[in-house]
Amino acid sequence: MNRGKFGKILIWIGVSVWGVYGILLVLGYHPSLVVFLPIHLTFVLTGVRFRKMGDGIEARAQNPKLKTISNTLLIIGMSAWLPYFYVHYFYELEVGHLPFLVLHLTGMLSGGIIKLF
């Protein structure tokens, strides 16, 4: 198995962690983000690194404008959580996470899809 395929598998494992989290929520448990978030980040970031080292998304030539748009959307998607964590931990206020999740997923999915072209 090459590095690109291994990276894809790691990314899918990292994303699927949230399926387990959701199932536990539906079953009435209160799983901690302290467990699930590091697992998610470890698998996804490692997978992205393996894809870049392998024959993944960086192996083919890409339009510079599309690459800039894709990277910008990915940065917006990742940084969507910064205001949430700032308000939640610095001011210790309960803030709904849904708007931040929507922005995160919109940026990550659209940026990832554009990277495929």
**Confidence band for 57, pLDDT divided at 50, 70 and 90:** low
User: Which residues have a Cβ under 8 Å from the Cβ of 116 and sit 6 or more positions away?
Assistant: 57
DSSP string, 72-93: HHHHHHHHTHHHHHIIIIIS--
User: How far apart (Å, rounded) are the C-alpha atoms in residues 48 and 6?
Assistant: 10
Q: What is the pLDDT of residues 14-50, one digit of tens each?
A: 999 999 999 999 999 998 888 999 999 999 999 988 9
Structure tokens given for 12: 């899918």
Position 58 scores a pLDDT of 52
What mean pLDDT value characterizes the chain? 88
